[in-house]
Amino acid sequence: MNKETLQEYSCLLQDYLVSEGMILQWAIFLNVIVNSILLLAGVKLVDVVFRKFIVEAFKAFSNKTKTTFDDYLVKSNFPRFVAHILPLVILWNFIPIIFIEFPWITNLLLVVVQIFSVILFIYIFRSILRSTRKFLEESERFKDKPMESYVQVMMIFAWGVGIFWTVQLLTGFSVVSLTTLGAASAVILLIFKDTILGFVASIQVSVNDIVRIGDWITFSKFGADGYVTEINLATVRVQNFDNTFTTIPTYSLIADSFQNWRGMQESDGRRIKRAIFIKQSSIRFLSAEDLERLKQIQLIKPYLEYRQKEVDKFNEKNEADKQLLINGRNQTNLGVFRFYADALLNENSAINKDLFLMVRHLAPTDKGIPIEIFCYSKDKSWVNYEHIQADIFDHLLAAIPYFDLEIFELPTGKDIQALA
């Protein structure tokens, strides 16, 4: 059926009313009203029927496919939005026919239809983007990537194009002119400054693999210490270990310094680095009696025998006067304890021997001499890691008196009372 035939049908009521003696203007007015009501009713009926058909057909199709992408399309209302296209096409074709006598109304309604079409296509585009994001998040490759940031950027771009196009439809000014684009760019840069910075930051975060969803980060500036649960265009959401949430501006991830524990989680061990402070006045040379007593400690007996042979050999060669222990070479209780701590770590099955392991002196301080334990636990789970570390230091603290050493502690109220 061509356009001329449709126009003839649309004027049937008008011709009838004129033939019955009604004034032409009134006949045209009533004809337009009746045709408008019929058009709206027909469009509504087509919209309901076509939407139901499209949605049900799409659901049936998605149930038969193995991929989950079409399931996400259904959940994001993609079929519903697509079903609205046919009613808009009907309106676009019938409005000029019904309002042929009123060109200004025709132009106004066609502009309204075009604006609705722009908004509809933006919603369709948004449904596709959301479905794509959820589908990619199922993949291990994209699961920890900030997909939400990219979706938000593309939606901002889509809404920007839609707004420009709507302005052009309403005003008639072309948005592609250099002057208009320059002014629009200035406005966009001013309004969306934080968004643009967030977009740039999210790209750098993704490309440089700075942060992933699921990473444990510590950001003291914002009081964040927990796992990253979401990365979007403007903020990064962190669930802290006390189950509170902290939001961090995305741009801060590249502008400020923070700590990411992913390297530890992906490595072969978690570092133990802690010191025991030894009271300096308790350090002394070991006599022969002391050495015999310490040989009862099975873990260091072979070391003491081997080491003492080297010391005796050196002293005999250099004719050291051993009436004073300071002469020649001697073993100290702190040195023997340091070897004991090293041997204890090497005997511990929870310590990774393939990674760095060391027991060392640090520079003396006003709180004593720090003996630092530096090693890596095999188990990286926080709870198990703390248990392993506590077991090591429980043992060492309990063993210190066997070497006639003392741990430095600041005086307490009872100490002062004892002195009094």
Residue 169 has pLDDT above 90, yes or no: no
**Domain extents in the chain:** 3-143, 270-419
Residues 6+ positions from 217 with CB-CB distance below 8 Å? 211, 224, 225, 226, 227, 228, 238, 258, 259, 260, 261
What CA–CA distance (Å, rounded) separates 105 from 72?
40
Lowest-confidence segment of 74-83, 135-144, 294-303 by average pLDDT: 135-144
Share above pLDDT 90 across residues of the chain, in percent, rounded to a whole number: 25
pLDDT of residue 182: 56
Q: What pLDDT digit, counting tens, does each position of 72-113 carry?
A: 777 888 888 888 888 888 888 777 777 767 778 778 888 888
Residue 353 Cα to chain centre, angstroms: 33
Which has more confidence, 412 or 12? 412
Phi-psi region of 246 (alpha: psi -120 to 50; beta: other; left: phi over 0): beta
Contact (CB, 8 A) for 97 and 87: no
Q: Rg of the chain over CA atoms, in angstroms? A: 41
pLDDT of residue 345: 94
Q: How far are the Cα atoms of 93, 410, 412 from residue 417, in angstroms, in the given order?
A: 100, 14, 9
Contact (CB, 8 A) for 213 and 227: no
Encoded amino acid at 294, one letter: L
Q: What pLDDT digit, counting tens, does each position of 230-267 carry?
A: 887 778 899 998 889 998 888 888 888 888 888 887 78
Dihedral, CA of residue 81, residue 87, residue 91 and residue 92, to nearest 10: 60
Task: Please report which confidence band the pLDDT of residue 58 belongs to, taking 50, 70 and 90 as the band edges.
Answer: confident
Which residue bears the tokens 């978690």? 270
pLDDT of residue 405: 94
**What's the order of all strands across the beta sheet hosting 216-219?**
245-249, 235-240, 224-231, 216-219, 259-260
147-171 vs 103-137: helix axis angle to the nearest 10? 170
Which residue bears the tokens 């808009």? 88
Share above pLDDT 70 across residues of the chain, in percent, rounded to a whole number: 84
pLDDT of residue 146: 66
Backbone angles phi, psi at 241, to 5 degrees: -70, -15
Residue 178 has pLDDT above 50, yes or no: no
- The average pLDDT across 16-27 equals 64
Task: Please report which confidence band the pLDDT of residue 52 belongs to, taking 50, 70 and 90 as the band edges.
Answer: confident
Is residue 189 classed exposed, middle or buried when 0-12, 13-18 and 19+ CB atoms within 10 A define those classes?
exposed
pLDDT of residue 128: 84
pLDDT of residue 373: 94
Lowest-confidence segment of 8-22, 27-41, 285-299 by average pLDDT: 8-22
Q: What pLDDT digit, counting tens, does each position of 183-222 carry?
A: 555 566 555 666 667 777 777 777 677 888 888 899 988 8
> Any idea what DSSP says for residue 244?
-
Which has more confidence, 128 or 277? 277
Beta pairing partners, 239: 227, 245
Task: Please report which confidence band the pLDDT of residue 418 belongs to, taking 50, 70 and 90 as the band edges.
Answer: confident
> Any idea what DSSP says for residue 328?
S
Lowest-confidence segment of 162-171, 248-257, 289-298, 372-381 by average pLDDT: 162-171
Alpha helices in 288-381 (DSSP H): 288-294, 301-317, 333-347
Residue 336 has pLDDT above 90, yes or no: yes
Residue 179 has pLDDT above 60, yes or no: no
- The average pLDDT across 347-357 equals 92
pLDDT of residue 394: 95
pLDDT of residue 337: 95
